[in-house]
Amino acid sequence: MKFRLTCLIGYSLLVLTSVVTAHARTVTVLSDGWTFNLGDHPESISPEFDDSGWQRVTVPHDWAIKGPFDKKHDIQIAQIVQNQEAQATEKTGRTGALPHIGQAWYRNSFRLPHYQPGQRVLLLFEGAMSEPHVYLNGEKVGQWNYGYNYFYFDVTDQFLPDHENVLAVHLTNREQSSRWYPGAGLYRKVRVIVKNPQCIRQWGTQITTPEVTATEAKVRIRTTISGNNLTLVTTVVDPKGNMVASATDDSVVATDTVLSQDLTVSAPALWSPETPSLYTAISKLYAGDVLQDELTTVFGIRTIQYEPEKGFLLNGNVRKFKGVCLHHDLGPIGAAINVAALRRQLRILKDLGCDAIRSSHNMPSIEQLELCDEMGFMFLAESFDEWAKAKVRNGYHRFFESDAEKDIVNLVRATRNHPCIVMWSSGNEVPDQHGKQGVERAQRLQDLFHREDPTRPVTVGMDQVTAVMKSGFGAVMDIPGLNYRTHLYEQAFRAFPQGLLLGSETASTVSSRGIYKFPANLAKMKTYEDLQCSSYDLEACSWSNIPEEDFVLQDDKRWVIGEFVWTGFDYLGEPTPYDTAWPSRSSYFGICDLAGLPKDRYYLYRSRWNKQDDTLHILPHWNWAGREGKNTPVFVYTSYDSAELFVNGKSMGVRTKNSSTILNRYRLRWNDVKYEPGTLKVVAFDSDGRPAANAEIRTSGEPARLVLTADRTVLQANGEDLAFVTVSVVDDNGIPCPTATNQLSFDVQGQGTYRAACNGDATSLEMFHLPTMKLFSGKLVVLVQSTSEPGPIQLTVSAEQLADGVLELSSK
């Protein structure tokens, strides 16, 4: 199989601020003015309903993230087949132990003073959890079942010009409808679009190129237009703001015309993770000399190829995906979309050397895709976690036969122009992998993706590898994606005709930041009384493995085109190996913890992935009162091949990476170090054997003061921007205290508010939104949110017997 793709793609910028007016088209984001109430309140459909007693909220909103955590929330008696469980057991934290189950209503009222008689009005929802029913002015305008999808309704007939229009949305989150924390509520943006009846259709722009070379790109823009006797004028602007191409076409003679315009861009700046160059296309639709519609689309030019002899090529260059999987929750703020939180995640991943994201196991947010376009991350956009066969009792299987096509259509049409997307996924570990019906479903879904977008291949995350080799399921896929099962890679490669494999989900190593267990041995499903996992990075689950098993495949097998590690960040729910234990309410899989703080494993991946910066990281910490004289292994994760370790100036010897074991190939290990308080120092050597870098950690004294460090000190005064402030504790000499667990309190003054805190402890039941939390392994993160007014912001963090930490921020 040879799947060769060359394309130029982009995305529609619907809105840059609360309201964007583009002559005849206006887009309004409904963020303020919402009321919210839990429970079934059908009377609230009426415009006359009195909701003055309801809670006032802004959207995006997650009603469950404030908790409290409780094991009674969505207890599932389940046998997790994907985890190779032999029998059903009680899962207490599987969906995060947060109160997301139930019904709720949202209401808002709005006027559209810019509306002109005869215009069309659309309501666009970018995600609503879950099963939304939408009413405008007392009339039902539509419903949608899939909580992760984008959808819109034409509400022109229900809209009242020159009146307050009352919007009501009913949501239902059912028990046993998810395998992780899904969030709850209108967790993505809601927009109102006003445009003329003669217009560019919603998601009606598709940009590709039949040819890209170093000297020019052939740009093809297909635009679906409502109306007749119209002229379409399109201009293309390069990343520097220069107009570089234009086209005019007056052949729109009938409604729903698909107009194709071919343009040429000379010396194109190609999009890649290293150079995420973006162009802009401006489409203007005229009736005579009168502007009817205007739409701006940002796009990137790049080529993608998947070839059995070479693997994956971006812009003609072979590369392997250095990717991570991400669930959609944002830790302490839940599922509610926030651009600052998403951008912080991507900055952390960029420093890691990561170049690709897989949305797992759901359709991505528009904001996430826009940021990946801008910052340079390739993207595997996933659709479903279930097809026709169930994983959970009230999962997507209930809607698969009726909804799968329209859900895929909306996914592709809403996002197909993003340059970051290089592959689609139609499913993850679906039980349908077995048998003839599963093969037919896989083919049907793949055909739908090809119909909507013939420029990208389709994969499925397959965990039943023996079954898909036998049934033909794996042979059907454009790109066979294997979830784990590293021992079957060779067999699957020989069995499948495509000539390549993707590690669509890899590793699932488990660890707790700053927690170390002795002895440091390889283990599967290892549990401890404190419900933590060892950060020696030697522990995995029954179905999974340590990182090195995937490293070997990536490095030694040309036909393995890359990996997507499970996961980039810890997420709420799925606390394996403690999914039957309490309290335990979030995952241990992340390269970073739930607060976004790097675990030790971060530096193991960084030492391989980040080729621009040196990595030299020592573990464990060196505060082990009571272990004096006991064996305390020391590992070093580094981009250098060799290093020498010193304990209080005494050499522990030189270690050099070698192929004697997979651990020795990627880690430097001193397994026989005896603990003594003091200084642990490592000196790394370059390829000529000369000292090139050094790092050290020291035994700390008692906690003395707090240290505050912000990811950003200047915020936008928009009422939603966030600063993430890392709080740590040090002793009198400024040495970090890695085992500190002090209870902290937070106070924000000025033009900012306290939003949340998170310490990364999967067993913590402290609520994120309350202004107090314990340190975990000496650290936590505080989120400070801007108000809508510019000015200074002051964060004060205090604890008993410690000097306060004070940080000055500002908003503009």
Dihedral of the alpha carbons of 72, 75, 77, 78, in degrees to the nearest 10: -150
Kindly tell me the burial class for residue 659, based on how many C-beta atoms sit within 10 Å of its own C-beta (0-12, 13-18, 19 or more). exposed
- b/e map 726-762, b = 16+ CB within 10 Å: bbbbbbeeebbbbbbebebebebebbbebbbbbbbbb
**How far is 357 from 770, CA to CA, in rounded Å?**
32
The two tokens of residue 103 are 């019904």
DSSP for residue 675? P
Q: Where are the alpha helices (DSSP H) in 453-546?
A: 465-471, 473-476, 489-495
Amino acid at 633: P
DSSP for residue 39? S
DSSP for residue 602? H
- Answer for the pair 642, 668: CB distance below 8 angstroms, yes or no: yes
**How far is 774 from 795, CA to CA, in rounded Å?**
17
Backbone angles phi, psi at 348, to 5 degrees: -65, -40
Amino acid at 140: K
Kindly tell me the burial class for residue 39, based on how many C-beta atoms sit within 10 Å of its own C-beta (0-12, 13-18, 19 or more). exposed
Kindly tell me the burial class for residue 609, based on how many C-beta atoms sit within 10 Å of its own C-beta (0-12, 13-18, 19 or more). middle
**How far is 604 from 303, CA to CA, in rounded Å?**
31
Distances in Å between the alpha carbon of 106 and those of 32, 47, 336, 388? 12, 13, 15, 31
The helix or strand, by DSSP H or E, that contains position 339, with its residue range, turns out to be helix 339-352
The one catalytic residue in 126, 429, 452, 644 is 429
300: nearest Cα among 321, 272, 323: 272
Count of other CB atoms within 10 angstroms of residue 425: 26
The two tokens of residue 440 are 């037919």
Distances in Å between the alpha carbon of 353 and those of 80, 356, 367, 683? 33, 10, 21, 23
Place of tokens 């009222």: 109
**How far is 151 from 413, CA to CA, in rounded Å?**
11
- Answer for the pair 330, 341: CB distance below 8 angstroms, yes or no: yes
The helix or strand, by DSSP H or E, that contains position 125, with its residue range, turns out to be strand 120-125
Kindly tell me the burial class for residue 266, based on how many C-beta atoms sit within 10 Å of its own C-beta (0-12, 13-18, 19 or more). exposed
The two tokens of residue 195 are 């445009």
Q: Which residues pair with 736 in a beta bridge?
A: 730
- Answer for the pair 590, 608: CB distance below 8 angstroms, yes or no: no
The one catalytic residue in 131, 382, 386, 505 is 505
Count of other CB atoms within 10 angstroms of residue 164: 10
- Answer for the pair 109, 88: CB distance below 8 angstroms, yes or no: no
* Packed helices 600-609 and 547-556: angle between N→C axes, nearest 10 degrees: 0
Q: Which residues pair with 74 in a beta bridge?
A: none
Q: Which residues pair with 539 in a beta bridge?
A: 523
**How far is 669 from 643, CA to CA, in rounded Å?**
10
CA angle 35, 41, 45 (to 5 degrees): 70
Count of other CB atoms within 10 angstroms of residue 254: 10
Q: Sheet with 634-638: list strands edge to edge.
A: 616-619, 634-638, 668-670
- b/e map 706-720, b = 16+ CB within 10 Å: bebebbbeebbbbeb
Whether 131 is catalytic is: no
- Answer for the pair 281, 249: CB distance below 8 angstroms, yes or no: no
Whether 505 is catalytic is: yes
- Indicate which residues carry an active-site annotation: 429, 505
